Amino acid sequence: MAFLLSQFIPPDRILLLTFTNKAAREMLRRVELLLGRYPTGLVGGTFHHAGNLALRRYADRIGYRRNFTILDRSDSKDCLAEVVGEMRLGKERYFPKADVLQGIISFSVNSCQDLAAVLDRQYPYLARFQSEIERAAAAYQARKLAANSMDYDDLLSQWNRLLVYCPEARDYFQDRFRSILVDEYQDTNRLQFEILKSLAGRHGNLMVVGDDAQSIYSFRAAEVRNTLDFKKFFPGARIARLETNYRSVPEILELANRSIAHNQNQFPKELKSTRPAGPRPVLVVTQNAFSEARFVAQRLLELREEGTALSDIAVLFRARYQVTELELELAARGIPYLIRGGIRFYEQAHIKDVLAYLKLLVNDRDELAWRRILLQLDGIGPGYFRRFWSRVSAAPVPMETFLEPDSSSGLPFRSRPGFAGLQKLFRELRRDEYAGQPAAQIKAVLEGDYRSYCLSNYTDGPERLREIEELARIALQAENTERFLAETVMGENFKGESFDGNGGEEQEMLTLSTIHQAKGLEWKAVFIISLADGRFPFARALEEPEGLEEERRLFYVAITRAKQYLYLMQPVIEYGWEGNQVQRLSTFVQELPESDYETWLAGDSNGSAG
C-alpha cells in the first residue's frame, strides 16, 4: 500500500479489502503512520463495506433503489420467520427454524451453490424439506426486494450481479480500482472470488496475502481452491513466500513443517524461526479424558509456578464438547478460565434443555424445568404454560397429573403431538431400569424428540448433539442422577474467581478455545487436547481427502499458536454407552517422526505432571 502511494498512484485508485472492520482500521492506521497523513479517497474496509458503497451508486440498475436499507442478522431472521409463517411452512413438525434457514441460504449464496447441493452435503438431515426451503428462499428474496432491503449476503451477491450484468458499473469499477489488495485471502469464499475476478478483469493488478495452510473455514463457505488455483485464474501472477517466523521456537516450527508436508494440495513452505532453540514438544499419553484433564490442570499450575502467567497459556480443542472434563477439573481446583467465542459448557441452551428433563425426574415441582421443556412445543407460549402449571402444580404429585391422558386439554391442537411424545418419554424414564442412571436418561432424551428438535432449531445442531453425547459420557461416572445434577450446578456456578484470593493482583485467566477461534492468536504454552482419530481429526474427515487435508491445516494452526511450550494430549480410553473403547492416536501425530517430540506417560493420579 505505502509502496503504491510512494509511486504516486492516486489513493482513490486503490481498493483495500479485508475481513473485519478492526483489521481494516489497523491497516489504514499503519498507512497513515507511514505517510504522515491519511490517504484521502482510498477505499478500504471489508468486502461488505465495499459492496455497500458500490451498490449505493448503481443499485437502481438491478431493481433496487439507492436508498436501500440493510437488514442486520436479527432483522433478517425476523423477515425470514414472517415468510415461513405466511407460507404456513412452520406448521410441519421439525421444519427448520429461521436461524437454520438463514444459515442454509447464506451458505448457498456465499459458496455459489444451489440449495439442493448445500442440503445434500451440509444438511442431509433436512433434505426432505428441500422443496419447501427453496420456496421460502425465493419468497424471502422477493420480500427484501419489495421492501428495498438487503441483508449482509446481498451486499456481496448483488454487487457480483451488478458486475456481471451491468457493463456500465463493471467498466466504472475496473477503471477506478487500478490496484486491488486483499488481506487474509485464504478465507475468501467463491462469491468473493467472483467479485475480485470481475474487478481485476481489465488491469489484473491484484495482490493478495494469504496462507493456504491456514484455510480452515470451509464450514463458512471459505474455499481453499481460491488460493491454490490463483495462478490458474491469474496466469501472470507471481508468488512470494514469507517463511520467517518470529513467534515460535525452532522445535515447534519443525513439527508444524513436518505435519503440513503431508498435504498434497498446497504451496510448499518451510517456516524458519528467528528464536534460539527451545524445549521439544511433548506427546502426553493419558488413560482417559479425566486423567487428561488432571494432567493439564496440574501442568499449567507448574508452569505458573515457573513464571508463565495463566493468561499466557491456552488449551485448544477441535470441538467444544472435548473440553468438558477439563472445565470440571478447573472448577474443582478453582483455576479461573475463559472460553473464547462461547459460554461455559453447562450454561449452553441445549445442555440446560437436557438437564431440565433430569431435574423433573428428581423434583417434579421444578417450575423452571417444566417451563423450559413445555415452551419447546409448537403452540405453547407463556400463557398456555401458566394454565398448565396452575393445574399441575396444585396436584399432590405433578408428574402423575401430567401423565394423565387428558392433561393436554386446554392446550392448542398443534401442541398435542409433541405433548403426547413428551408423556411417552417420561413414562419411559420412570421405568426401574432408568432409576438413578443419568447417562441412560440422557440417552433416552436424545433418542426421543430432542434430536430432531436440536437439528431443526440450531445451525450447529450436529455439534450440539455431540456435546449432549459427551454429557452422557460424563454422567456415566456419576453415582446417581441427583448427585450428577448437583455437580453440574456447582460447575456452572464457577465463574473464575481470583486465582490466589489475595485480591491484590490483577486476575489471570487461562484461555480455553476451539482452534478456529484461536487463529491469529499466540500463547507461550499451548495444550492441544483429545488427539485421537475420530476426535481430531473428526471421523467424517477421514472419509474424504479434502476433509482430511483441512483437518491437518487445522492441526497446523493449533501447533503454530505456541511460542515455547507445546503439549500434544492423547487420551487412550474413551468411555461410551456401549462400554470403554481404545482410541487410536491421531493420524496427525502418527505421521510425525518420534524424534521431533518427547513422550510422557501420565499416571492417573493427582500427583505432579510429567
Query: Are 83 and 136 contacting, i.e. CB atoms less than 8 angstroms apart?
Result: yes
Give a yes or no: residue 75 inside a domain. Answer: yes
Give a yes or no: residue 609 inside a domain. Answer: no
The Cα angle at residue 585 between residues 584 and 586, in degrees rounded to 5? 110
Give a yes or no: residue 152 inside a domain. Answer: no
Same domain, residue pair 403 and 549:
no
Q: Cell 490483577, residue?
A: 506
Same domain, residue pair 205 and 260:
no
Look up the CATH number of the domain holding residue 192.
Answer: 3.40.50.300
Say which residues have a Cβ less than 8 Å from residue 164's Cβ, sequence separation at least 6: 170, 194, 198
Sign of the CA dihedral with 4 first, then 10, 13, and 16 last? positive
Give the distance, in angstroms, between the CA of residue 74 and the centroid of all CA atoms in the same chain.
Answer: 19
- CA-to-CA separations, 590 to 264, 509, 564, in angstroms, rounded: 17, 32, 22
Same domain, residue pair 485 and 352:
yes
Same domain, residue pair 39 and 183:
yes
**Which of 68, 9, 82 lies closest to 41, judged by CA?**
9
Same domain, residue pair 463 and 511:
no
Q: How far apart are CA 51 and CA 98, in angstroms?
A: 25
Residue 490 is predicted with a pLDDT of 62
Give a yes or no: residue 211 inside a domain. Answer: yes
Cell triple for 603: 499416571
Cell triple for 180: 486491488
Give the domain-ending residue among 132, 147, 162. Answer: 147
Same domain, residue pair 423 and 451:
yes
Residue 526 is predicted with a pLDDT of 98
Q: Cell 448437583, residue?
A: 486
pTM: 0.87
Give a yes or no: residue 498 inside a domain. Answer: no
Q: Of all helices (H) and strands (E), which one includes residue 255?
A: helix 250-260
Q: What are phi and psi of 600, to 5 degrees?
A: -115, 135
Same domain, residue pair 354 and 477:
yes
Domain count, the chain: 4
Domain that holds residue 128: 69-147
Q: How far apart are CA 194 and CA 110, in angstroms?
A: 10
> Across-strand partners of 69?
149
Same domain, residue pair 352 and 469:
yes
Same domain, residue pair 357 and 400:
yes
**3-class DSSP assignment, residue 200:** coil
Burial 358-389 (b: 16+ CB within 10 A, else e): bbbbbebeeeebbbbbbebbbebeeebbeebe
Amino acid at 214: Q
Same domain, residue pair 191 and 224:
yes
- CA-to-CA separations, 179 to 18, 173, 176, in angstroms, rounded: 14, 11, 9
Give the strand pairing for 14-18 and 581-582.
unpaired
Same domain, residue pair 313 and 443:
no
> Across-strand partners of 286?
571
Instruction: Give the torsion through C-alpha atoms of 68, 70, 74, 80, to 10 deg.
Output: 50
Give the domain-ending residue among 460, 492, 524. Answer: 492
Q: How far apart are CA 88 and CA 314, in angstroms?
A: 48
Give a yes or no: residue 40 inside a domain. Answer: yes
Residue 498 is predicted with a pLDDT of 28
Q: How far apart are CA 15 and CA 19, in angstroms?
A: 14
Q: How far apart are CA 219 and CA 216, in angstroms?
A: 8
**Which of 434, 460, 436 lies closest to 445, judged by CA?**
434
- Strand extents, DSSP E, 119-227: 149-151, 179-182, 206-208
Residue 39 is predicted with a pLDDT of 73
DSSP summary character for residue 606: S
> 153: alpha, beta or left, given left = phi > 0 and alpha = psi -120 to 50?
alpha
Give a yes or no: residue 512 inside a domain. Answer: yes
pLDDT per 10-residue tile (average), the chain, 610 residues: 72 87 80 77 88 95 93 91 88 87 97 96 94 96 94 96 96 93 95 96 92 94 96 92 96 98 95 97 96 97 96 95 91 91 81 94 92 91 90 92 88 88 94 93 92 91 91 89 83 40 58 94 97 92 84 98 98 80 94 96 57
Give a yes or no: residue 471 inside a domain. Answer: yes
Same domain, residue pair 388 and 472:
yes
Other beta carbons within 10 Å of 556: 25
Look up the CATH number of the domain holding residue 351.
Answer: 1.10.486.10
Cell triple for 547: 476433509
End-to-end CA distance of the chain: 49
Residue 541 is predicted with a pLDDT of 79
Q: How far apart are CA 519 and CA 185, in angstroms?
A: 14
Q: How far apart are CA 38 and CA 324, in angstroms?
A: 48
Query: Are 467 and 345 contacting, i.e. CB atoms less than 8 angstroms apart?
Result: yes
- CA-to-CA separations, 4 to 13, 26, 28, 30, 210, in angstroms, rounded: 10, 18, 14, 14, 19
Q: Of all helices (H) and strands (E), which one includes residue 339?
A: strand 337-339
